[in-house]
Amino acid sequence: MPYTVEDLIARLGGPDAAAERLGVSTEAIRKWRQSRAIPARHWPALIAATGIELADLPGAARPAESAPGPDQPPPGATAVLVLADGSRFWGRGFGAHTGTEPPVGEVCFTTSMTGYQETLTDPSYAGQIITFTFPHIGNVGANEEDVEAANIAARGLITAADITAPSNWRAQSHLDAWLAARGVSGIAGIDTRALTLRIRDGGPPTGVICYPADGRFDLAALEARAAAWPGLEGMDLAREVTCRQTYTWDQTLWSWPEGYGRLEHPRFHVVAIDYGAKRNILRALAAAGCRVTVVPATATAEEILAHRPDGIFLSNGPGDPAATGEYAVPVIRELLARELPLFGICLGHQLLALALGARTFKMARGHRGANQPVKDLTTGQVEITSQNHGFAVDPDTLPAEAEVTHISLFDGTNEGFALRNRPVFSVQYHPEASPGPSDSRHLFRRFVSLMER
Amino acid sequence: MIERAEDRQKFRDAMAAIGIESPKSQIAHTMEEARAALAAIGLPAVIRPSFTLGGTGGGIAYNREEFERIAAGGLAASPVSEILVEESVVGWKEFEMEVVRDRADNCIIVCSIENVDPMGIHTGDSITVAPALTLTDKEYQRMRDASIACLRAIGVDTGGSNVQFAINPADGRMLIIEMNPRVSRSSALASKATGFPIAKIAAKLAVGYTLDELANDITKTTPASFEPTIDYVVVKIPRFTFEKFPGTPALLTTSMKSVGEAMAIGRSFAEALQKGLRSMETGLDGLDEVTPPGDGGLDAFRAALSTPRPDRLLMAAQALRAGIAPEEIHRATRFDPWFIAELERIVAAEREIKAAGLPEEPHAFRRLKALGFSDARLARLSGRTLAEVEALRRRLGVHPVYKRIDTCAGEFASATPYLYSTYATGYGEPHCEAEPSARRKVVILGGGPNRIGQGIEFDYCCVHAAYALREAGFETIMINCNPETVSTDFDTSDRLYFEPLTAEDVINVIRRESESGELMGCIVQYGGQTPLKLSQALARAGIPILGTSAEAIDIAEDRERFQQLLRKLSLLQPENGIARSAAEAEQVAERIGYPVVIRPSYVLGGRAMEIVHDRQALARYMREAVVVSGESPVLIDRYLADAIEVDVDCLADGRNVYVAGVMEHIEEAGIHSGDSACALPPYSLSPALVAELRAETEALARALGVVGLMNVQYAIKGEAIYVLEVNPRASRTVPFVAKATGVPLAKLGALAMAGIPFDPASLRGEAIRHVAVKEAVFPFARFPNVDVLLGPEMKSTGEVMGLDVSFERAFLKAQLAAGVNLPAEGTVFLSVKDADKEALVPLARRLAEMGFRLLATRGTAARLREAGLAVTTVNKVLEGRPHCVDAIRSGEVDLVINTVAGAQAVSDSFDIRRSALNYGVPHFTTIAGARAAVHAIAERRAGTLEVRPLQGYF
């Protein structure tokens, strides 16, 4: 269905912002709202400002009907998701239009009901198209604070319901506009539950989202594009999302009403190796009293040690740990030899395991959500955790000096280990949450306590 | 621990200690202190006087002048001259968190709930949504952390709790409002909404299990120590019965007034909302039009929307239809703009249908259905007939699919068929997870939302049907939409469809289920009037009805056919007639003579039923109380004054009839049977009369060909037995009879419907040696200006049962259970209508003999003195002070017996009954009730009551 005048105004950030962006008076906006129509002479400016199509304007003709491509979408559909096996799901596109090279990636799902903006900006989703199992996405809009990285690493997103106008005091823009501005495409109107069950039972497929500005679809070409994608196994994606230069971090965790804080009196200095780090990890480290120096994934041990750190942190990140391990493992081995306190999360956990001689494997079913129960075997306590991983550590291959400390209560897979005689530990899940519960924040304090010794 | 949660100040202190903010408040004893408090708190402010009943003398002040006035009034009203000045959070967003904790301190949030209605409206009276939809993750986690910290601080070691928050929509400020350290109404809702059975898990935690030791009942493969995540939207809508309590404005406040609720599930808020609205059984097909207020202009809408009434959401949609801007609606209602935007999507689609008609393209049609539109609603909007819309939908191949509620959004395979319908999204063919089995199956239709006249009694029957038929080897399929019931537990039946009980929704489910296995049929006679009303539509759709035929149901429901049946069986009926217009009604009433009982056809719970004494009253009734039409006439019966009413429940399997229970009402005919106390076995009827009642019941069951259960209501005047009505379905009294006699009526009835006969020789229920008394429980305390007098319109919301070896003792126990503590000594206030004065004398004498002091109004006192009793006269309210109400209010009265006749007398004595209620003084408004009470008091003085388990009586 076309956007209503109200939708469009909301998308532009309200009546005042709309007037300003379109170069018209607020009186004109008021008239549009009253008449529920926008005169045609304003359409070009409107399309430029909102990134929507002519077809979506109230009262405009639909290009899909006037300019059929090789494959005709069902009425109302403006985008398609095509999987490598040829199955296709029609829907409505949002965000940015796809160009000549529509985004291709592994289609995964996340069951988290909140925090879509944090999820989308989590660099660990590089190479992936995210299916949100919760139907309404976009309710709270987008803001500048709830981001885990400067850019969106995910290749696209899939939702059940159309993106709605934002309703939250923290919202600064419409999710649709926010995505469009970042060149990310999404498709709504998909039976996401059917897709989820399919991923659950058949493993994550490769898919392509196509949301062409001209409404022309070539399904065979899309299928070929999906089929040609090599898949995540063996893919080193950390290199794509890591920082280019070393930088320092002192922002602390979000709280109401202050927002993010600053670390005033650092007690320790931590070097974090950025394989695709989420900012909330850095914030949690800063909140625990650590000045953080973030180095690129390819930094050498020498470069790292030159910062004279009190502790080393191995970040989360995307892709196959074995591929990233090729250059990361030797560095980690050198660092381990220095007996420095070391803490790893997610990909960092897997890389640490590889450095200790263990193996990782691609899981038949990844863990992605904010409700994942993890048991701390050392205390017996159950924590509800945020997770996002498709590879796991094979605990049977860990060396004797490693003690398994955490397991998933969903499938028993490894969620953490610690070394018996060295100040080294890591977890597969995300104690920094964002999105998700903060039950495991204490791990950052544990890391600091290792530095206190 | 419980005190820490329930005592406001202690709770506030406990929360402050862990850094969780409560609304600001300050206590004041003088106006100076009050002004100082206001300076600290700001406007608007809530003023609550201490120690006044029902919060009288308080209010919300929006400006200084109002504050001065209310604060002064509050200080005057408080006996200790104390008021609490509190920050007002009216209009803020309201959220709830359902938390479960185990002894190892593992905490999980089962469900978050967002109230569409803002703060200021009790959450039980609010439309609510799960999960919370308008929180960012940072805010949600903050609330989650606060909920868990709250449980730890209050000391809930194991079990479920509900924590409520208010959020200022402008800046996200979060206040904790309260916590309930127990399972609550919301936890029942959360359990149904997520598939995580909170009470069941909490019970296991209480005996020492930890969450990780318990299995997730739905997946069977994962543990209970996780947080359910859902991939659908749940909407709960409260059901009100203000129409039953004239005198109470239909205003929603912080005191709960709803009597039930429906829950609906969809893949979008719009779909869930419209399903929820048609689940209410208030005649809605979805987001229906309502009459615009006043002149339909902006100001009229603004005024209507700023008053929290039960239909406010519908009014908001109506305002959108009238072109009123969403911001205006938000300002007036404080509904979150997100919800208003969703209403707009529905209204925009309506507009398109009205302009362009229904789409002839399947995807576009599916998209409309995915917004939750029922076929009936689409028919209305497009100006087509329902049959045309159904045919179009079928021609286009647009059918709902069924998705599973699995606690995990599909992450794990679900072993449990807990299903809801959706039309999904409307661009492709959605996937259906119903997977109907190849078994022999029976569909049981539940009762829908609880309301007065139809409550959990019917759910009891449905649940027992499910148990019995499952045991007998059938696959049981439940359809219901009431989250407060056992029937909507996913493990009560083999398969559960959480769906509205409309013909469209039910037929869709049954069609899908019929695709595999053998559908034996559908049970419509256990869920009360709700499913019974669907029987004709189901029969037309070719769906077999189990048990008593749709034809027999029609005979019992159709006045004229029913009369013919009674004539054939030579049974008596009060003289009666049927009228389709005011003029006809007058003719009928003239023919049978006043007073008459008048009511609309096809109702339950005596809705709009009245006893009319003269022509004027009849005219008023026809004008104001009912909408009559050719299809829904009114029924007029002669009113049998002072008759004894009797309820009989029976069971039949097509060959044998078993009369399960004969219940004698304590209040006379004219009081709705649901509001009357009753005794099983009868306590005053002769054995010959009881035998005759049994014989008549059996004759009726045979004549109607009842298979299953049947209830007959009789009135006995002298030796004559009149049949009042026959209900060829499970009645409200089935659970009572089953518990009183030890015969599992509902189970046997269900088996009979499935073709499994019962053995009459094995049923010896009538041979009980004890007496069971049922007493009704009323919600009057919640409706401040309502008279507690009983009448033909049912008003009770629940019932209790007392069991003992004699009628008197059983009655006493029933009173105690209903919260009526009959006095053993003290003062009785007596004021009865002339017709009751003779009957009062022996009661008063008995009371005096027991040492009660008698206090009576002039007329009553005179008659008692004539009978030689010592009585103190007290003024009626109109006779000057001090009067009888003063006596009640100052605690000088321990029992009130007050009967009245005539509108004037009723209104004059209103204060007597209302103050008796407010001050907790046992009161009886019928002589029959008073008589039973006096006997019970004698029994109470005679000795202590004993406790025995129910099983001990058999």
Which CATH number characterizes residue A110's domain? 3.50.30.20
Which residues 51-80 of A are in CB contact (within 8 Å) with B?
A: 74-77
Nearest CA in chain B to A375: B212
Which residues from chain A sit within 8 angstroms of residue B412, using beta carbons? 200, 410
| Percentage of chain A lying above the pLDDT 70 cut | 91
Highest averaged pLDDT of the listed ranges A343-357, B214-228, B567-581: A343-357
Give me the phi and psi of A145, to 5 degrees please.
-85, -40
Question: For position A66, what pLDDT does the model report?
Answer: 40
Same domain, A42 and A69: no
**Bridge partner list, B114:** B95, B129
Q: Indicate the range of A228-237, A391-400, B776-785, B807-816 predicted with least confidence.
A: B776-785
Between the CA of residue B634 and those of B369, B576, B608, B625, B629, what are the distances in Å?
36, 11, 10, 11, 9
| Closest-CA residue to A388 (of A176, A198, A127, A139) | A127
Whether A3 has a pLDDT exceeding 70, the answer reads no
Beta strand A185-188 pairing with A156-158:
parallel
Give strand ranges (E) for A322-381: 342-345, 360-376
Q: How many helices (H) and strands (E) does chain A have?
A: 15, 19
- Alpha helices for B372-455 (secondary structure H): 375-382, 386-395
With respect to residue A353, please indicate whether it lies within any of the assigned structural domains.
yes
Record: contact A189-B267, CB cut-off 8 A:
no
* Residue A223 included in any domain: yes
Sheet of B596-600: strands edge to edge?
A: B576-579, B634-638, B596-600, B610-612
Report d(CA A392, CA A350) in Å as an integer: 7
A346 catalytic? Reply is yes
Query: Given this model, what pLDDT does residue A36 score?
Result: 64
**In the block, which residue shows the tokens 């003999």?**
B849
For residue A178, which residues of chain B lie inside 8 Å, CB to CB? Answer: none
Structure tokens at B144: 């989650």
Taking the CA of residue A327 and the nearest CA in chain B, the distance in Å comes to: 34
Q: Do B139 and A200 touch (CB under 8 A)?
A: no
Q: What is the mean pLDDT of residues A427-431?
A: 98
Is A233 contained in some domain? no
Give the CATH H-level superfamily of domain B93-228.
ATP-grasp fold, B domain (3.30.470.20)
Phi, then psi, of B466 in degrees rounded to 5: -60, -45
Contacts of B106 in chain A (CB under 8 A): 381-382
Query: Which residue's structure tokens are 């994550």?
Result: A204
Task: Summarize the confidence of residues A105-132 as an average pLDDT.
Answer: 97
Domain range annotation of chain B: 24-87, 93-228, 575-638, 822-942
Q: Which of residues 270-329 of A touch B (CB under 8 A)?
A: none
What single letter denotes the amino acid at residue B172?
Answer: G
Please name the residues between 373 and 402 in chain A that touch chain B, using a CB distance below 8 Å: 373, 375, 380-382, 384
Residues A186, A273 share a domain: no
Best A11, A31, A197, A378 member to test B by mutation, with max B CBs in 10 Å, is A197
Q: Chain B partners of A144 at a C-beta cutoff of 8 Å?
A: none
CA nearest neighbour of B83 among B28, B38, B35: B28
A48 and A68 both lie in a single domain: no
Contacts of B890 (CB under 8 A, 6+ apart): none
Nearest to A384 among B108, B140, B231 (CB): B108
Residue B103 in contact with partner chain A when CB distance is under 8 A = no
**Residue B620 above 90 pLDDT?**
no
Question: Which of A228, A246, A269 is at the close of a domain?
Answer: A228
More confident residue, B61 or A10: B61
Pairwise CA distance, residues A290 & A263, whole Å: 8
**C-alpha closest to that of B574 among B636, B633, B662:** B636
How sure is the predictor about B397, in pLDDT bands with cuts at 50, 70 and 90? Answer: very high
Nearest to A369 among B361, B411, B431 (CB): B411
- Share the mean pLDDT of chain B: 93
pLDDT of residue A104: 97
Under an 8 A CB cutoff, do B267 and A113 touch?
A: no
Rounded Cα–Cα distance for residues A27 and A24 (Å) = 8
Q: Are residues A383 and A410 in the same domain?
A: yes
Q: Is A230 on the interface with B (CB under 8 A)?
A: no
CA A23/CA A25 separation, integer angstroms = 7
Tokens found for residue B53: 């009943």
Q: Cβ contact (<8 Å) for A75 and B364?
A: yes
Neighbours of A180 (CB within 10 A): 21
Residue B915's Cβ-count burial label (10 Å; 0-12, 13-18, 19+) is buried
CA angle (A86, A88, A90) in 5-degree steps: 165
Name the residue of chain B whose CA is nearest to A143's CA.
B136
What residues does B717 pair with on adjacent strands? B720
Q: Helix axis angle, B745-753 relative to B456-471, nearest 10°? A: 60
Q: Identify which has the larger pLDDT, B614 or A36.
A: B614
* Interval A332-346 mean pLDDT: 97
Output the pLDDT for position B204: 96
Measured distance CA(B130)–CA(B128) in Å, rounded: 7
- Statement: residue A289 has pLDDT above 70: yes
Tell me which residue range forms the domain holding A167: 62-228
Which has the minimum average pLDDT: A156-160, B158-162, B634-638?
B634-638
Question: Mean pLDDT throughout B801-806?
Answer: 94
Same domain, A219 and A283: no
pLDDT at residue B97 above 80? yes
Q: Which of A109, A132, A136 to mutate to test the interface with B (most CBs of B within 10 A)?
A: A136
Sign of the C-alpha dihedral computed for residues B493, B494, B496 and B502 taken in this order: negative
Higher pLDDT, A198 or B597: A198
ipTM greater than 0.90: yes
The overall average pLDDT reported for chain A is 91
Confidence of residue A7 (pLDDT cuts 50, 70, 90): confident
Residues 6 or more apart whose Cβ sits within 8 Å of residue A368: A108, A109, A110, A111, A112, A387, A388, A389
Fold category of B24-87 in CATH: Dna Ligase; domain 1 (3.30.1490)
CATH number at residue A362: 3.40.50.880
Considering CB atoms only, which of A140, A382, A435 is closest to B106?
A382
Nearest beta carbon to residue B137 from set A118, A133, A188: A118
- pLDDT confidence of A62, banded at 50, 70, 90? very low
Whether residue A282 sits in one domain with residue A140 = no
What per-residue confidence (pLDDT) applies to A40? 63
B641-681 pLDDT tens trace:
889 999 999 999 999 999 999 999 999 888 999 999 999 99
DSSP code per residue over A414-438: EEEEEESSSSEEEESSBTT-SSS--
Q: Distance from B370 to chain A by nearest Cα, in Å?
A: 10
What average pLDDT does this structure show over B174-180? 94
Q: Rounded to an integer, what distance in angstroms lies between the CA atom of residue B365 and that of residue B397?
A: 10
Residue B755, burial from CB neighbour count under 10 angstroms (0-12, 13-18, 19+) = middle
pLDDT-derived band at A54, boundaries 50, 70, 90: low
Q: Please identify, in words, the CATH class of the domain defined by B575-638.
A: alpha beta
pLDDT tier for residue A64 given thresholds of 50, 70 and 90:
very low
Q: Tens digit of pLDDT for each residue in B460-506?
A: 999 999 999 999 999 999 999 999 999 999 999 999 999 999 999 99
Interface of B with A in 406-465 (CB under 8 A): 408-413, 424-428, 430-431, 433
Residue B773: its H or E element: strand B771-777
Quickly state the pLDDT bin for B686 (edges 50, 70, 90): very high
Sequence-distant (6+) residues with CB within 8 A of B460 are B486, B734, B735, B746
> Chain B window 105-134: which residues touch A at a Cβ cutoff of 8 Å?
105-106, 108-109, 131-134
Nearest CA-CA distance, residue B433 and chain A, Å = 9
- Return the closest-CA partner of residue A388 out of A405, A407, A366: A366
Q: Residue B609 has which token pair?
A: 């039923």
Pairing of strands B610-612, B596-600: antiparallel
Residue type for position A30 = R
Q: What pLDDT does residue B630 have? A: 55
pLDDT tens digit sequence for A200-219: 999 999 999 999 999 999 99
Burial A380-409 (b: 16+ CB within 10 A, else e): ebbbbbbbbbbbbbebeebeeebebbbbbb
Same topology between domain B24-87 and domain B575-638: yes
Q: Percentage of chain B with pLDDT > 90? A: 75
Co-location of A169 and A259 in the same domain: no
The dihedral through the CA atoms of A43, A45, A47, A50 has a sign that is: negative
Inform me whether the pLDDT recorded for B387 exceeds 60.
yes
Between the alpha carbon of residue B108 and those of residues B135, B145, B181, B512, the distances in Å are 18, 10, 15, 36
Residue B31 Cα, gap to closest chain A Cα (Å)? 34
Q: Is the pLDDT of residue A422 over 70?
A: yes
Out of A346, A383, A389, A415, which one is annotated catalytic?
A346
Does the structure show a pLDDT above 90 at B104? yes
Cβ of A370 under 8 Å from any chain B Cβ? yes
Asked if B728 is an interface residue toward chain A (Cβ–Cβ < 8 A), one would say no
How far apart are the CA of B323 and the nearest CA of chain A, in angstroms? 8
A6 noted as active-site residue? no
Q: Which of A25, A59, A93 is the last residue of a domain?
A: A59
| Residue B842 reports pLDDT greater than 90 | yes
Q: Going by DSSP bridges, is the β-strand pair B827-831/B853-856 parallel, antiparallel, or unpaired? A: parallel
Q: Under an 8 A CB cutoff, do A74 and B226 touch? A: no
Under the banding of pLDDT at 50, 70 and 90, the label for residue B581 is confident
Instruction: List the CATH number of the domain containing A22.
Output: 1.10.260.40
Judged by average pLDDT, the poorest of A341-345, B16-20, B57-61 is B57-61
Confidence of residue A58 (pLDDT cuts 50, 70, 90): low
Distance from CA of A226 to the nearest CA of B (A): 20
- Read off the pLDDT of each residue in B749-772 and give the average, rounded to a whole number: 90
C-alpha to C-alpha distance for A271 and A314, rounded to whole angstroms = 9
Task: For residue B229, give the nearest of A4, A139, A371 by CB distance.
Answer: A371
Span of A21-25, B36-40, B187-191 with lowest mean pLDDT: A21-25
- Is residue A75 situated within a structural domain? yes
Residue A359 in contact with partner chain B when CB distance is under 8 A:
no
In angstroms, rounded to a whole number, what is the distance separating the alpha carbons of residues B544 and B549?
9
- The two three-digit tokens of residue A278, written as one number: 């989420």
For residues A258 and A355, state if they share a domain.
yes
Answer whether 0.90 is exceeded by the pTM.
yes
Query: Do A27 and A108 have their domain in common?
Result: no
Query: CA-CA distance, A19 to A45, in Å (whole number)?
Result: 11
Strand-pairing partners, residue B545, are: B522
Based on the fold, state whether residues A46 and A109 are members of the same structural domain: no
Which of B232, B524, B195 lies closest to B372 in space, CA to CA?
A: B232
Strand B475-480: give its sheet, edge to edge.
B401-404, B418-422, B495-498, B475-480, B440-445, B518-523
pLDDT for res A274: 98
Specify which residues B84 forms β-bridges with: B27, B48
The number of domains in chain A is 3
Residue B347 vs residue B83, higher pLDDT? B347
What's the CATH superfamily of B822-942?
A: Methylglyoxal synthase-like domain (3.40.50.1380)
Confidence label for B224 from pLDDT (cuts 50, 70 and 90)? very high
Q: Do A133 and B412 touch (CB under 8 A)?
A: no
Q: What is the per-residue pLDDT across B296-321, written as a single tens digit (0 to 9) for each?
A: 999 999 999 999 999 999 999 999 99
The least confident of A311-325, B66-80, B521-535 is B66-80
Q: Give yes or no for a contact between A391 and A231, defined as CB atoms under 8 angstroms apart.
A: no
How many Cβ contacts (< 8 angstroms) between chains A and B?
212
B317, B341 Cβ separation under 8 angstroms: no
**How far is the first Cα of chain B from the last one, in angstroms, to the nearest whole number?**
40
